Structure 1
Amino acid sequence: MRPLTVRARATLGASAVVAIALAVASLSLLGLLDANLLHNAEADADAQAAAVAQAAVAGKLDPLLPPTHGADFIQVVSAGGKVLTSSQNLTGRPPIVAQRPSVPGTIRSTWDVGPLGDEHRQRVVQVTTETENGLVTVYAGTSLRDADAADNTTSAALLVGVPLLLLTVAGVTWWVTGRALRPVEAIRAEVAEISDRDLHRRVPVPATHDEIARLAVTMNATLDRLESSGRRQRQFIADASHELRSPITVLRTQLEVALAVPDPTGWPELISGALEDTDRLQQLAADLLLLARIDAAEPVSTEPLDLTELVREAVGKRRGDRVPVRAELAPGVRVSGSSLWLTRVVTNLLDNAQRFAEHSVAVRLAGADGQAVLAVTDDGPGIPPADRERIFERFTRLDDARSRDHGGAGLGLAIARDLALHHHGTLTAEDSPRGARLVLRLPLSPPPEEED
């Protein structure tokens, strides 16, 4: 039963709030109007009753009370129930109240029907006073016809005006909400027409500089990211296909040559080359699978790690490398992350350094300012400042330092940076007196005694 559209809900909500406010205001208005008119009528009757009571005390009551302003009728009754005097319209009538008061005082009350048979309410003031002849009670009453007429007129006006006002509020709210939501509908319609082949299209941005305009800007920014992601995905597929084509072609050629050569003595060399290309294909497939997992934003299984021991183990496995690795590791550098993935980061950095180093590779680990800083430096040709971001792009090789002659598909540093970002860290290429210097920064974790 709830309204399905924002426009309908806004209209219903505004109408309900206005209806409640009008109902409270109308009841308050009627109450204040009735109370004010009742007070005025009571004040007039009170004055007349007090004046007649003073005359009774002084013994100056007229046999017939003249008409007075503010009182429709007056009657004076003794303690024994005898009518001493009254206004002309009550001449010859018995006491209007059967019960006699026993003590002096003033009582004010409202009667639904007056002594004169008036259809309107009567406000009656009863004043009992002590005289020489005993207690005397004065009844002075005034009709509330003016109050009733004002109440009826006001009620009729509210019965007509309140629904009209509610309809006006509902109509204005419906119209204003429709105009406010028109840009949203335009955005929705445009997004509904954008397919995976139309990511270059953008939604219209209204010139209102309000929340809807910011929504349109955010939507266009999202479309920019989607288009960029699609472009990177297509480029990735093209690069991967290109990288796979070369070893597959070479492998096929070697197998065809082995099949065509009748002399078995040449087969070991051909098979050895085929195995090398198979290893290259296997490594490339593993790298592509890891990149796919990273791009899928799979959660990292984190645990407290001693990064010092992890780097020491990774360096210890490189004893047979072409260039010796010199390590300077600060003790007790702890981080949180995946040991498998961080080991892969360190391995990729060492592979990159070994690939281009001439005589030495240096690894330095330290902890400072809440960060673990791992720097891997080689004495190779180095990285030009203009290319220090390009080397982290997938399938990127620099002309002099990144060629197939050195091996590798240009994925190692891209994988290392993506894994560093997944661990809330950074991987950058920084200045070095000679060669390349790659620096990994990861947030430190508290020591074991502080973890709980």
Structure 2
Amino acid sequence: MTSAPARRSVRTRLAGLSIRARLMLIGLAGLAGALVIGGVLLYTVLTTSLGRSVEGTARASAEQVALFVDSGQLPDPVPVSGSQVVQVLDAAGRVVTASVTADRLTALVTPDELRRALAGERVSVPGSRSGLAGRLLVAAVGAGPSVPSGRQFSVVAAAPTADVEQSAATLRTLLLWIFPLLLAVLAVIAWRVIGAAFAPVEALRRGAERIDESSSETERLPVPPTRDEISALATTLNAMLERVTAARHKQRAFVADAAHELRSPLASMRTQLEVAERLGEGGDLPAELLADVDRLTTLVDDLLLLARADDAATTRRTSDLDVGQLVSDVARRYAHARVPVRTAPGLAGRELPTRAASADLTRALTNLVDNAVRHARTSVVLDATAVGHQVQLTVTDDGHGIPAEDRERVFDRFTRLDEARDRDSGGSGLGLPITRALLRRTGGDVRLEDAAPGLRAVVRLPRAG
């Protein structure tokens, strides 16, 4: 009996296979079992039928010779057809007469075999007793007048089973060769048929994989022309995407409207606080409130920018840019930053063209540099180089870094790690999400890597020309 760990191991291996492979394995296992059972039944029925046919032929010959004995007209030698062997034995088991194919001195069967054959049992003896190859199937009937122990004579007829054995061997060979070949052919057919059946599912998977935050909001999953469960699934998923798109539109509209509406009162509050500060009204309160108003204004501007970055319908003015020049310009803006911001050697001589919105790319790079300066210990290094058909831009700092498990989470909105909990130094948690949103709508992206020590932000942009 299979142990529980072995069964779990089999289930684990099966679970690691694709549905297509599992369906094919299950189907082939069932088909193989059916073929084995059918083959065994066919072999059993055929060999049994042939054996009974040979036994029936031998019994018919014995009964015919017994009629000759009963009528007293037994010819010598006994006539037989083919390679049959016939002997007439007396009550003592001695050979009285026989066919030309039989031994006239030694009985073909032993007394026990003769008793069993007369009782109707199937008896098989070696063919060597009659000088034949293979085995002989024996049938016996009583003949002549009765004696105390039975009939006076016994007619023994035997037919060779070589043809039956040859037929059985041929059938075994055919089954052993044909079944694996048939399974292999059916496996290929099943793989193609199941693949064709799952082609719409694969199309749905590829379509769903293409749809992400940077995809067009009008993009939908392909609906198969069939009217089956897969078509219904695709229609349902497209309806779900419509609802998700509508919800995203509402969310963006709310954020944009709220941010837009908040700008006016914040501007008014700033003006009043600045006037109060100049007039000396309120003591230190106007200065303290101005810092909060500035923070709120920055947050509102970030929310408005993020909402516009998420809006696929927003038109953007793109132009050809030199990434190397852009990196150098941003580095100069941070000449008096908390830590030195410098460019890598040799950057000035590289031509790294890309096509993007200048304001978007500048804002994205500025956000990355702000983040690096905030957490660096001694320096921040900017670099850009060509990698295939892309331009790679890096911002490297020597700060405390970010654990690998958190490097993707920091791109979620309003996420601040433990080291950046302080709002005064840690920001609002929108810098990196804004950076990714701006880069993705230009066809690029950003990821974080370990710089040992420190952190490296890697930006990939499509290379122009």
- TM-score in terms of structure 2 length: 0.50
Is 1:14 aligned with 2:32? no
Question: Residue 73 of structure 1: CA displacement?
Answer: 0.9
Equivalent position of 2:104 in the other structure:
92
Paired-residue identity, %: 34
The root-mean-square deviation of aligned C-alpha atoms, in Å, is 3.5
Deviations 1:71-108 (A, max 9, x none): 70111222222212211222423112232667994323
CA distance change for structure 1 residues 93 and 228 in 2, over 3 Å: closer, same or farther? farther
Equivalent position of 2:223 in the other structure:
205
Is 1:43 aligned with 2:56? yes
Partner SS state of residue 220, structure 2: coil
Equivalent position of 2:80 in the other structure:
67
Deviates more, 1:207-216 or 1:139-148: 207-216
AA partner of residue 195 (structure 1): D
Partner SS state of residue 96, structure 2: strand
Q: 1:175 aligns with which of 163, 172, 192?
A: 192
Q: 2:254 aligns with which of 226, 231, 236?
A: 236
Question: Residue 169 of structure 1: CA displacement?
Answer: 0.5
Q: C-alpha distance in 1, partners of 2:220/2:49? A: 65
Question: Residue 239 of structure 1: CA displacement?
Answer: 2.8
Deviations 1:199-244 (A, max 9, x none): 3311222212223222322222222122112111101212332454
Q: Greater CA radius of gyration, 1 or 2?
A: 1
Aligned length: 270
Q: C-alpha distance in 1, partners of 2:103/2:169? A: 33
Equivalent position of 2:133 in the other structure:
119
Q: Which runs of 5+ in 2 are unaligned?
A: 1-12, 283-288, 290-295, 297-465
Q: C-alpha distance in 2, partners of 1:13/1:223? A: 35
Equivalent position of 1:142 in the other structure:
159
Q: C-alpha distance in 2, partners of 1:179/1:145? A: 50
Q: Which runs of 5+ in 1 are unaligned?
A: 265-273, 275-280, 282-452
CA distance change for structure 1 residues 106 and 51 in 2, over 3 Å: closer, same or farther? farther
Deviations 1:363-412 (A, max 9, x none): xxxxxxxxxxxxxxxxxxxxxxxxxxxxxxxxxxxxxxxxxxxxxxxxxx
Deviations 1:318-368 (A, max 9, x none): xxxxxxxxxxxxxxxxxxxxxxxxxxxxxxxxxxxxxxxxxxxxxxxxxxx
Q: C-alpha distance in 2, partners of 1:120/1:103? A: 21
Is the 2:117–2:123 Cα contact (8 Å) retained in structure 1?
no
AA partner of residue 116 (structure 1): S
Is the 2:136–2:161 Cα contact (8 Å) retained in structure 1?
yes
Is 1:227 aligned with 2:248? no
Q: C-alpha distance in 2, partners of 1:130/1:251? A: 136
Q: C-alpha distance in 2, partners of 1:34/1:24? A: 15
Is the 1:64–1:88 Cα contact (8 Å) retained in structure 2?
yes
Q: C-alpha distance in 1, partners of 2:166/2:109? A: 27
- TM-score in terms of structure 1 length: 0.52
CA distance change for structure 1 residues 14 and 262 in 2, over 3 Å: closer, same or farther? closer
Q: C-alpha distance in 2, partners of 1:124/1:42? A: 7
Partner SS state of residue 65, structure 1: coil
Partner SS state of residue 240, structure 1: helix
Deviations 1:403-452 (A, max 9, x none): xxxxxxxxxxxxxxxxxxxxxxxxxxxxxxxxxxxxxxxxxxxxxxxxxx
Q: C-alpha distance in 2, partners of 1:263/1:161? A: 102
Q: 2:202 aligns with which of 185, 193, 201?
A: 185
